[in-house]
Structures are given as structure tokens and as C-alpha cells.
Amino acid sequence: MAHTISVDGATYTVSKILCMARNYAEHAKELGGVIPKEPVYFLKPPSCLLPGGGEIRMPTGIGRVDVETELAVILGKGGHDLSPAEAMGLVAGYAVFFDITGRDLQSTARKEGQPWSAAKGYDTFGPISAAAPASRIPDPHNLPIRVTVSGVVRQDSNTKHMVFRIPETLAAISRVMSLEPGDILATGTPEGVWPLVPGDVLEGAIPGVGTLRCTVAARKP
């Protein structure tokens, strides 16, 4: 099943979701990590995507599951081995994104030197809002970013605190793999990641970009 995303009337097939790790210094510190010297990123599968208003389904026995609220970048063009300025020219729009994370699974994988794919890749672990055209967002590096969990503010920061900005990150990734129309870059989360339980209601907001609301439920056997 192909997963698509629309920006300003154009619809793109999502081929990959690139996610920044430790791109906010305070988030790196809260999880006991170091601030990287170069962009660190990993992949989530397009099958994890969940439209706003949907239900995050938590598998039984997975342990702690966290919400990480992020600014997502939607690409409308592709390219390879780009300069930062060229890379920024690929951007079609922005969205609010929840990088739902099986924290216990991730911690175990890190200790054993294994990849994080299982912790990040469950179906419904990538809720995303409707996209706003890039033309409406003059400066994506100065946007408030906030999430409430069942009415309580858990993350409240600003994209100005990113360690690596969008043009440099896209350029670095493009030296490794070709970027394609419909690719999504999740730019990392600020401090305040929070464990979820069935029954929670998540409401994320980035002014000018949009809002994202989801509920949390236990996955049926």
C-alpha cells in the first residue's frame, strides 16, 4: 500500500521518513546522550504514518512508549549531493509530526549495539498533520513547538534550538542517498518526551504549520 502526502494541491508518494536524532541539546541531555558533531539520522517506514485524528495503537508488552513532537519537512523535489542552498530548494511544505518511540525497546537495542527499527517502526508510530506550503513559513527555524498529553503541557520549546538546521541536514543526507519527492524529514524533538498510556489524547501544535491530534489505545491481539 502506497502512503501519500499532499502539499498545496500536489500529492506525493512517501518513499522514506528520515528522522533526526539528538537534534535538540536538552533532549540529548535528558536521555543521557551527547550532542553530535554531525547530523545523526535514522529511518522510519512509510507504513508507520497515521493521519491526524487517528489512533496510536500500543502493542501489548512493549513497555514504555514516548511521544516526541517534531517539525516535519516535506520534499517536493529530489536531488543528490546538494549544497545547503540547493537542498532547501527541494522543500515543498511542513507538518507537525509525532515520532512515537518504544523507549524500552530502543534502550535495549542501544545497549546491545542493535538498530532502533523495531522501537520506531510499528504501524501508527508516525502520526502527521496536514502539510502547510513552504511559502507560508518564512523561517522554519523560529517556530514554537508544543504538545499536551491529556491536557497537560509536556513539551514547549522552539525550533530555533535545533543543533543542525534543515539546509545543512538535507545536504548531508543527500551526500549519502538520493532525496526524492515525497520524502519526509523529521527534524528532531525538544526536551520533555513523555510516556503514553491507553486513553491519552495528544495535541501538538506549531503555529503557522498546523495542529496534530491523536488518541492512544492498546493494540488488539
User: Which domains does the chain show, CATH number per domain?
Assistant: 4-218 (3.90.850.10)
| Rounded percentage of the chain residues whose pLDDT exceeds 90 | 87
pTM of the model: 0.96
Cα gap 177→102, rounded to integer Å: 27
Give residue 163's pLDDT band: very low, low, confident or very high (50, 70, 90): very high
Cα gap 212→56, rounded to integer Å: 12
Q: What is the mean pLDDT of residues 37-65?
A: 95
Label the pairing between strands 55-58 and 184-186: unpaired
Give residue 110's pLDDT band: very low, low, confident or very high (50, 70, 90): confident
Name which of 166, 142, 15 is nearest 87 in CA terms: 166
pLDDT for the residue numbered 89: 97
Residues 123-135 have pLDDT tens digits of: 999 999 999 999 9
Give residue 221's pLDDT band: very low, low, confident or very high (50, 70, 90): low
> 81 — alpha (psi -120 to 50), left (phi > 0) or beta?
left
